[in-house]
Structure 1
Amino acid sequence: MTAFQRQSPEARGQGMTSQRARDRLADRLVAEGIRDRRVIDVMRQMPRHLFVEEALATRAYEDSALPIGHGQTISQPWVVARMTEALLEFGVPRRVLEIGTGSGFQAAVLSALVGQVFTVERIEELLRNARRRFRKLGIDTIRSKHDDGRLGWPEEAPFDAIVLTAAGTELETALLDQLAPDGVMVAPVGAFGRQQLVRIRPDSNGVRMREILCPVSFVPLLGGTL
């Protein structure tokens, strides 16, 4: 029995939110190219149905993005898995900054795999809901802040890894400045309809290189707070 399953019947789910539904999703992720067993195991265990509205819970283990309000979405499970896998490929980061808490699902997945997650969300209501979910699941390695995500969390920098869950047309200099010299950043970049998932990491000489991983579709990275 997993740690998440032990917590409550609500987390364990039933029917379309049961462990069998999670297993099917995990198998689909493997079939679609996710290779990191650590990531697959967490995706198999994480109760995604607790990160969406109750009316959408039966769709939680579809491999699709779902609305969470305020024009935002919980990312497609494959995208969450691919971004997480890309962060872990060259080592497990100790401190990770996430820009765009949203439902809290990406942060929760990361929290099971890295030392500590720092997450920033510009929409206060979404952040309150995410914090409630973290408490319900007993996750205590996530720190969160209501702020403009484009600014990052400079007082806690540098970070071993940074992940963005919204797309800018270019990478934000303020965020790159908060990345440790040997750190990794994974972010969607580009205008809507032409976005690519990009990874920034140092080469053997310590020079940051930019890799294009795959095409994606994310909500835009906006400034300010709500």
Structure 2
Amino acid sequence: MRLVVARCAVDYTGRLTAHLPLAPRLLIVKADGSVLVHSDGGSYKPLNWMSPPCTLRTQARSPEEAALDPDDAWVEEWDVVHAKSGDRLRVRLHEILEDSSHELGIDPGLQKDGVEAHLQALLAENIETLGAGWSLVRREYGTAIGPVDILARDPDGAAVAIEIKRRGEIDGVEQLTRYLELLNRDPLLAPVRGIFAAQAIKPQAKVLAVDRGITCVTLDYDALRGIDDAESRLF
């Protein structure tokens, strides 16, 4: 990754045209070829950018060019062209304040707290969250169309398939419906009912779940981790 702080002017041409007048900015050139132009405000969003695939060509200004146009005192020009659309980003650097390059290597990716795998593990460890007398049969219970997050048994011994999402939407209800149709063909399990569990469930998903006889359960991630004691809260 190359980081350049410079006084620069930027022109974009393509589906539209845009111009950034001369000002100090941060220019980022990433290993994937993308080029981003940032100001010192505006949160994370760049003022302009070019996403890959694109090519970057740089050239220093020659004395002859400077003599032809002494009023436009740029010292280096970046020409960024998108390989497919032909869109062009031209950056003229008038003064380079900082210029550094860093090898970051392969990023391991964002590891989110509270993702579905964590919720699944926590609910399996605390299956009694669903009520007294519940028992865990298996996590990732295999079927011909994919694994059911949790297969459990309620206090009466009936099989229950549990689908877990961070945010419960209609697609999740449809997925659980398909699992239930398949599981209920197994005479050793049938009848199997379903629970759709998530940290938040959209109203439309709740309506569809209830219509199909599926119970909706809202999961409290902190309570499952033992951080938040719901009984000690005032509200």
What's the TM-score, normalizing by structure 1?
A: 0.24
Q: Relative contact order: is structure 1 or structure 2 higher (C-alpha 8 Å, sep ≥ 6)?
A: 1
Structure with the higher fraction of residues in strand conformation: 2
Give TM-score, length-normalised by structure 2: 0.24
| Bigger fraction of residues in helix | 1
